[in-house]
Amino acid sequence: MTSPQFNHGAHEVLDVHEVLSCSVGALNKYTMLRSKVQDPELLDILNRQYAFMVQEYNTTVDCFKSGKDPAFPTKSYMMKQDNEFIYGLEAKQPTKPIQTETEINDEIISGFMLGAHKSGAALKTYAALEATNPVVRRVLADSVPNCIEMAYEISIYQNKHRYYQVPQLSEADMQMMQQCYAPATQTIPQ
């Protein structure tokens, strides 16, 4: 019988290493960008997310090293704002890469934050699918919804400031797309 500490397959070890490296990178970005944030609302989101991400990182490290239940279990991230989106497009200047560090603004910072959560969700999902240690698999799987929630929080912030615009189909096209599918029957074919 393998001890819990070494109850990991090779894919799992490499994937969790990638997840933890991504987490460190995200936390480092948050730290580097904190002093450049102008909007108090974005700074509040950044600080709350950073604190949550540190705890989740420590939980993952704990169970990965021990193979056992972590001292602090995975929690659920709860955003503060509502989930109202502004639909439609407005004309704005085309986006292009910045030329100097002084051009870093809240739009760019929130974009980095969103990207970190998208990467984290994908890597954690992939790693959870390869995990052989049941505790590590559960911790990774439980943390994916947190990445989704934090990304959603940032996308709402970006949308409110028109950094992230959401085009919408006409009502007729939307209705047509919604009517393309019907419920499945419960009968199993013989």
* pLDDT tens per residue across span 87-127: 999 998 888 999 999 999 999 999 999 999 999 999 999 99
- What b/e sequence results for 110-131 when a residue is b if at least 16 CB atoms lie within 10 Å of its CB, and e otherwise? bbebbebbebbbebbbebbebb
pLDDT of residue 4: 60
Q: What is the rounded CA–CA span in Å between residue 46 and residue 36?
A: 11
pLDDT of residue 186: 84
pLDDT of residue 50: 98
Helices H, strands E: what count in the chain?
Answer: 5, 0
CATH class of the domain at 4-178: mainly alpha
Q: Taking a C-beta distance cutoff of 8 angstroms, is the pair 131, 140 a contact?
A: yes
pLDDT of residue 3: 65
pLDDT of residue 162: 94
pLDDT of residue 154: 97
pLDDT of residue 188: 80
Q: Taking a C-beta distance cutoff of 8 angstroms, is the pair 136, 124 a contact?
A: no
pLDDT of residue 190: 76
Q: What is the rounded CA–CA span in Å between residue 124 and residue 15?
A: 8
Quote the tokens at residue 24: 């460190």
Q: What is the rounded CA–CA span in Å between residue 91 and residue 155?
A: 19
In sequence order, the β-bridge partners of residue 88 are: 166
Task: For the chain, give the longest Cα–Cα distance.
Answer: 67
Q: What is the rounded CA–CA span in Å between residue 105 and residue 7?
A: 45
Residues of the chain with pLDDT under 70: 1-5
pLDDT of residue 5: 64
